[in-house]
Amino acid sequence: MIKLQIDNSFIKKTASNEAVFVQGKKLADSGNVSIVSKEWENIFYVVKAVAQENVKEQNFYMIFDARGAMYEYRCSCDSSRIWRGACKHVAAALFLLMGNRNRDYAAMVNDRAAEKFLLGLEASVKAERGALLASKAGADERMSLVPEIVLESGGVPFLELSVGGRRKYVVKNVGEFLTNVREASMASYGKNLSFIHHISNFDEESVKLITFLQTQHSLYNSALKTASSPYWEMYDYAFARRLPLWENALDAFFALREGTFVKANVNCEKTEALFTAEPAEYKYEIAASGNGIAVSGDTDVLIFPGFEHAYMYVNGAFHRVALSHGRQNQPAREPARRGFLKDNIQ
């Protein structure tokens, strides 16, 4: 039989704040929390539980390692996605698992002065939580991560990102953002948006984009760390806010967004571009003009090479075209840098 390493100090440390600790104890004493199952899954001891509050039912689990130390926990309630630390449902289940051992904290809860302090703290917590939910425009709304593709003549395409609900905020460091998602960390954007970057807090399209970014940023970062050129540190700093879309990355991003409109910055002009595999149609004319020539028609055509295809921006659309277009119109790059990236990223 496993001995779980649970006591009052552990529950207090695990709970997101003092008020949640007290709420968890009261919920455990109310009889509205039940342990559904306790069983071994490989080397982990998994405890599943359910909490009944009014008409709402919250399901959650706790995972302990072979020593009885808690390894992970998850709850279906909103608090688990917003606050760092355990919610009152997890705290209540921990009290149940602990049993009647070491419940000396009840003396402080029953103390009138302490109770008054905790009630005030609970009100403060509710107000702060309400402000966070308001910033998300409703408890059920998920955050959106919006990409903007930057296209410049003779350059490499980049992605810039913004995040938020109805109002979007610029992501100033792509790597830091992805770390926050990986670690489900709380992060802020200005004064009006703070939320835990758990993947469940993002809408479906954003989750797909985050998966793409995680893969490409990892490959790109590996290349940076491996390269011996002293200029790589400069590139790393310059690309903190932008993710370069080298050949394979450009192919993957187009496949992700094909058939949709994507925010675009084309030679410093803000617009939207339709990502399409339809053939690109453009016309231009060359005529004599004085001692030179004059070009008219669709002259603002940008072409970027991918690995399997090339991509042409013309007339507000980003077309997938034959790779031969990209080879003929490939942006100039340092040979050593291009060769290194091809070997390490593609």
Position 227 confidence tier, pLDDT thresholds 50, 70, 90: low
Question: Measured between alpha carbons, how far is 86 from 13 in angstroms, rounded to an integer?
Answer: 9
> Is 2 within 8 Å of 70 (Cβ atoms)?
no
pLDDT confidence of residue 186: 83
**Boundary (domain end) residue, out of 85, 114, 135:** 135
pLDDT confidence of residue 90: 92
pLDDT confidence of residue 231: 47
Domain that holds residue 312: 147-345
pLDDT in tens, 138-192: 444 689 999 999 998 888 899 999 999 888 999 999 989 998 888 888 888 877 8
Position 334 confidence tier, pLDDT thresholds 50, 70, 90: very low
Residue 3 lies in a domain: no
Residue 142 lies in a domain: no
Do 155 and 64 reside in the same domain of the chain?
A: no
Instruction: Give how many domains the chain has, as a whole number.
Output: 2
pLDDT beyond 90 at 209: yes
Angstrom CA distances, 147 to 168, 269, 300, 325, stand at 11, 16, 23, 25
At residue 38, the 3 state secondary structure works out as strand
**Boundary (domain end) residue, out of 135, 161, 188:** 135
Position 1 confidence tier, pLDDT thresholds 50, 70, 90: low
Of 49-58, 157-166, 180-189, 235-244, highest mean pLDDT: 157-166
**Boundary (domain end) residue, out of 92, 107, 135:** 135
Locate 57 and state its tokens: 């039912």
Nearest to 239 by CA among 342, 346, 337: 337
pTM of the model: 0.53
Position 30 confidence tier, pLDDT thresholds 50, 70, 90: confident
Residue 1 lies in a domain: no
Locate 332 and state its tokens: 């100039």
